[in-house]
Amino acid sequence: MIVDKKQFEKILTYIEQGKREGETLLTGGKPVGKKGYYIEPTVFTDVKDDMLIAKDEIFGPVMSLMKFNQQHQVWPSCMHCNQERHVANTVSRSIRAGIIWINCYFAFDRDCPYGGYKMTGFGRYFGTQGLHKYLHTRGGFGLVWFGFRPKLKTEPN
């Protein structure tokens, strides 16, 4: 199920754009049912690097298959392992993403915040940043007797 109507319509727009750009729709591409936001698993072939569905993260049941004749043609299209640490560090600092893996995949640490960047995801998870959505800051006050007034104290965030 797609998360909401806006994303549902966005995915269908990507599918239509793929058809217009010349990708071959191998299977799927249609909404399923009358209730909820469901889309058939969709597979495109004949996808090129400059096509929208190859460049954007769709966040839906859409797969783009690209064909390569030589191994060296693959590298510009994907992230790959790099043994030169300074190159990997320079590239990772220039990428605007919620998490970056260098020479590994799906490695997590509970103390490291994780989440989407810009318009992706629903916020931060893990680490102290992940706790903030569960915290509620509040103030408390009491009656002042005989001129006694307690000092106002704030708790650190």
- The number of beta carbons lying within 10 Å of the beta carbon of residue 12 is 19
* pLDDT band, very low/low/confident/very high, at 45 (cuts 50, 70, 90): very high
Q: Which are the contacts of 8, defined by CB distance < 8 A and separation ≥ 6?
A: 2, 31, 37, 39
Distance CA 72, CA 48 (A): 15
- Model pTM greater than 0.75? no
Which amino acid is present at 145?
W
Q: What domains sit in the chain, N to C, each tagged with a CATH number?
A: 5-78 (3.40.309.10)
pLDDT at 144 over 70: no
Cα-Cα end-to-end distance for the chain: 37
